[in-house]
Amino acid sequence: PRAKLLGLPGSLRRNSNSLAVLQGLRDALPAGIGMEIRDLRLPLYDQDLDTPDGPAEVQALRQAIADADGVVIVTPEYNYGMPGVLKNALDWASRPYGKSALIGKPVLVISNSPAFTGGVRAHQQVNDTLLAVSAKLVGGAQVVIGMVGEKVKEGKLADEAVLKFALGAVDKLVAAGGK
Ligand code: FNR
């Protein structure tokens, strides 16, 4: 493929809307762009465990980020912020200090919520964290999906207008990766 993307959902549950957004997006990608989706089920960050032979799931996540041309994070909002699951994963991925796979990595952030507000506060928090780790954020119009329950069908984002808007942002993500 022309570009290899990594999709990371900020929720672990089976029927996650965030996962459904990624699955809908993956299936709608233009030819030549592929997306692997990984869950973020990792141990809690512990600097004592953060050694070169640290947790295998963490090493695999870091490698997947390093191998990707771009990363798509789809986050829900928990109590006006990003879920701990996602923050935990970003903390793991932010290390080793100065050598994180996220440094300079193009990242697109998408938030979603069953509520009208679309998880916009979680979106902002993820952006702040990505700024801290010197990732290359895709800017411009933010992809914030409100009332997501009405837009997901059979485990996939199915709303044509939202898909089109999100695919426009994926184009920018791929362009940011130099492809
Ligand atoms: C929520 N939810 C929620 N929604 C929102 O828009 N703003 C919020 O602050 C919160 N807070 C919150 C806290 C906790 C602990 C939970 C479990 C849920 C609702 C949330 O958007 C909803 O459960 C989503 O379906 C979760 O995303 P996934 O699992 O569908 O991807």
With helix as H, strand as E and coil as C, how does 9-42 read? Answer: ECCCCCCCHHHHHHHHHHHHCCCCEEEEECCCCC
**Is the model's pLDDT at 81 over the cut of 90?**
yes
Q: Is the Cβ atom of 113 under 6 angstroms away from ligand 1?
A: yes
Asked if residue 101 lies in contact with residue 134, where contact means CB atoms within 8 angstroms, the answer is no
As for the ipTM of the complex, it is: 0.99
Average per-residue pLDDT for the chain: 97
Q: Which two tokens stand for residue 112?
A: 């979603």
Comparison of pLDDT for 1 and 100, the residue scoring more: 100
Q: Is the Cβ atom of 13 under 6 angstroms away from ligand 1?
A: yes
**Is the model's pLDDT at 1 over the cut of 70?**
no
64: Cβ–Cβ under 8 A, 6 or more apart, which residues?
Answer: 6, 36, 38
Which phi and psi angles does 56 have, rounded to 5°?
A: -60, -40
The ranges assigned to domains in the chain are 3-176
Q: Which of 19, 21, 77, 123 should be mutated for ligand 1, with most atoms under 8 A from CB?
A: 77
Domain 3-176 falls in which CATH fold?
A: Rossmann fold (3.40.50)
pLDDT digits (tens, 9 = 90+) for 19-77: 999 999 999 999 999 999 999 999 999 999 999 999 999 999 999 999 999 999 999 99
